[in-house]
Amino acid sequence: MNIDAENLRLILGVKIKQLRAEQDLSLSELAAKSVLSVSYLSEIEKGKKYPTPDKIIQLANALGVSFDELVSAKMSDSLDPLTMFLKSPLIKEFPFELFGIQPRDLVGLITESPQEAGAFIQTLLEIGQNYDMSVEQFLFAALRSYQKLHSNYFEELETAAEEFARKHKLNVEQPVQVDRLFNILKDEFGYEIGEIPFHDYPELKKFRSISTKGKSPKLFLNDRLLPSQRAFLLARELGFRTLGLKEHPVTSTWLEVSSFAEVLNNYKASYFAGALFINRNALRTELERFFKRTSWNGNAFLNIMRRFEATPEMFLYRLSQIIPTFFGMQEMFYLRFNNEVGSKDFVLTKELNMSRVVVPHAIGLNEHYCRRWLSITLLQQLAEMPGRTLKESTITGVQRSRFMDGDAEFFVISVARPLALTEHTNSSISLGLLLNDNFKNTVGFWNDSSIPVVEVNETCERCSLPRAACKERAVPPVIHRKHQLQKEREASLQRFLKSVE
């Protein structure tokens, strides 16, 4: 059994606490029997301290067990799931410190009722195994929770990007120059920058970049990238260096996730790049001007994006960082869908939901997302526009999405375009902002009559609309029907029970 020092402390503390409880001993009574102070014994039980061998002998004698039994990592049957908990790769990698807790805090809760807690842990582990939840999915879920905790805004990263711009005399009012970033990486950090040799390694065509560490770091870029994508990757690499982030992925597209530090560092470096690319104050000024309009103007919106020479994904994600903090619109979501032209599959590849409403979520969900979502509508429109250049094919739209099964309404802005590295595949990025009083007081075009108001749901499988009322429906509402049948059974049972009273 591979148990580290911290977990050994936790296990010893749990065993002592359990033995003490079984013998109905108070903390002070065990302290007296073992000739140890109450405070020291409390620290041991909490897993904060590991006693010396002679003190373990005193504890073993006081509890009537052998030394070996006490120091063994083997747990009793009731606490065996705790061992699984401590050994689980999900638990080992989870960044407890980001949320202000430690594993021992959870263990302390578990030991209050070991049998019930053990069963609960076992259930969680089985759910993860049965639903094939990978460590990677778990870590990205932890990252999203961390982002939500901070409203997806980090002052220290914004400041670091601005200090970098001042140091290198970059004009934050103008788009970042690729050549300037290239030279900083090369001259200041000793990078060797080249292109990925696809003629020798054709399997690497979908990677945007590949980097190597060492005294002479190397960065290889995909030659099919747009200039803005190249600039972003250079800025992200500068983010790793400027922020002193040592653990980072080798490839821009995740091939394998080895630790949460790698996931978090990649997010921080990408945030730095976005902040360097689109200065918060410059963007805030543009948005203040744009929000004063009394009617929606898609071209004006795209012009702001083009001013910073940003991709739709980069621009809308930057909005998800700036709008909640500077405009008070805390409840929002960000979604990215991909669609292969000719296919009816719309794949959710990225999501961040900072609202209390269930929006399309669960990457990899084996259901059909509501076809009324603007993200999917734009992808369907884009699929019918063949023969245009990448720039000509960028389209935008706006929609007021009203949830059928709730009273929430979102103002959704979407941009769709073909992917640069994946042929015959389009991508749409959407930003949804809760349409509340604050939004109405801030955005002048919120009630523009030209903006469609559309009732939406999560997926076709969960939608209550009959087929005749929804021409966009992709599949029957099988999950909704199942829930309805359950409700009918419950209501019938209650009527029956009431009739026989």
Whether 411 and 432 have beta carbons less than 8 Å apart is answered as yes
* Lowest mean pLDDT across 103-117, 191-205, 416-430: 103-117
Structure tokens at 299: 């071209």
Q: What is the mean pLDDT of residues 95-109?
A: 60
Single pTM value for the model: 0.76
Q: Where are the alpha helices (DSSP H) in 176-295?
A: 178-189, 227-242, 260-277, 280-291
For 90-145, the DSSP string reads HHHH--GGGGT--HHHHHHHHTTSHHHHHHHHHHHHHHHHHTT--HHHHHHHHHHH
Is residue 136 a contact partner of residue 257, using CB atoms and an 8 Å limit?
yes
| Cβ pair 63, 16 in contact under 8 A | yes
Is the pLDDT higher at 86 or at 147? 147
Lowest mean pLDDT among 163-177, 223-237, 353-367: 353-367
Tokens of 437: 């009083």
Q: Could you give the percent of the chain with pLDDT greater than 90?
A: 42
pLDDT band of 164, cuts 50, 70, 90: very high
pLDDT of 200 reads: 86
Q: Which residue has the tokens 């209050």?
A: 112
**Which residues have C-beta within 8 Å of that of residue 384, sequence separation ≥ 6?**
none
Confidence category of residue 488, pLDDT binned at 50, 70, 90 = very high
Whole-angstrom Cα Rg for the chain:
28
| Each residue's pLDDT tens digit, 45-81 | 877 888 888 898 999 899 998 888 888 766 655 555 5
Alpha-carbon distance of 265 to 255, in angstroms, equals: 16
Token pair for residue 397? 């739209």
Beta bridge partners of 410: 401, 434
Which of these ranges, 48-52, 87-91, 453-457, has the smallest mean pLDDT?
A: 87-91
Rounded to 5, what percent of the chain is helix, strand, coil?
50, 15, 35
Domains of the chain from N-terminus onward: 5-133 (1.10.260.40), 150-277 (no CATH), 309-458 (3.30.450)
Q: 458 to each of 162, 228, 353, 414, 479, how far by Cα in Å?
A: 39, 33, 13, 17, 12
For residue 176, give the DSSP letter. P
The residue that leads in pLDDT, 284 or 419, is 284
**Residue tagged 């960044």 (tokens):** 95
DSSP label at residue 365: -
The residue with tokens 């190397």 is: 218
Task: Give the pLDDT score at 79.
Answer: 55
Indicate if the pLDDT at residue 363 is higher than 50: no
Backbone angles phi, psi at 125, to 5 degrees: -65, -40
**Token digits for 166?**
């001042």
